[in-house]
């Protein structure tokens, strides 16, 4: 296995490990428990779930795979802080969307060669990519894996609390 193949495999494996860990915690929490705050005056579990779905959904176009499936989640879970919008999707709907968006991402990951992982992502112009080749798809995956890990740590507090 070439170094390039190995690095891509490591990044994808780490992504999947974080998704699996988050799924495990999510399975331990009821819909009612997800409505609780992680800590006093902090985000609720449902907000973290919606936020991660919105971020992962936006990875689809960012990685140049396909259009986002749930663009309506961005105003609710990225643009607005928790508890400022009352009309959010049901927890059961968010659970299904979480599963779907991550399955779509995983399926797309398998289609890219290591060289394709090192291509630019959609938010960088070809000209800027020439100057900064690190602004590539693999870098997005690594950054979003860290993001998921961070919020997974927050959700773990809710699991421990219950």
Q: What is the mean pLDDT of each run of 10 residues along the chain (162 residues)?
A: 89 98 97 95 97 98 98 97 95 98 98 96 97 97 98 94 80
Structure tokens at 2: 């070439």
The pLDDT assigned to 162 comes to 77
Place of tokens 């020439």: 130
* Three-class SS state of 54: helix
d(CA 110, CA 89): 30
- Residue 121 carries which DSSP code? P
Domains, the chain, in order of start with CATH, read 3-161 (1.20.120.450)
d(CA 100, CA 94): 10
d(CA 99, CA 83): 24
Place of tokens 């979003």: 144
152, 159, 124: which is closest to 29 by C-alpha? 159
pTM of the model: 0.96
pLDDT digit string (tens) for 74-87? 999 999 999 999 99
β-pair partners for 136: 120
The pLDDT assigned to 4 comes to 85
Structure tokens at 63: 């990685």
């Amino acid at each position: 296995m070439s170094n390039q193949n190995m690095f891509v495999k490591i990044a994808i494996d780490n992504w999947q490990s974080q998704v699996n860990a988050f799924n495990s915690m999510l399975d331990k929490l009821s819909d009612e428990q997800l409505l609780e705050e992680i800590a006093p005056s902090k985000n609720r579990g449902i907000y973290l779930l919606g936020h991660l779905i919105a971020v992962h959904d936006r990875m689809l176009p960012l990685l140049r795979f396909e259009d986002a499936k749930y663009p309506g989640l961005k105003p609710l879970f990225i643009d607005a802080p928790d508890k400022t919008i009352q009309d959010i999707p049901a927890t059961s709907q968010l659970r299904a969307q979480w599963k779907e968006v991550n399955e779509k991402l995983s399926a797309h990951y398998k289609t890219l060669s290591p060289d394709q992982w090192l291509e630019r992502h959609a938010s960088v112009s070809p000209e800027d990519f020439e100057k900064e080749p690190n602004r590539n798809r693999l870098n997005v995956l690594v950054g979003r894996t860290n993001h998921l890990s961070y919020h997974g740590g927050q959700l773990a507090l809710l699991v421990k609390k219950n």
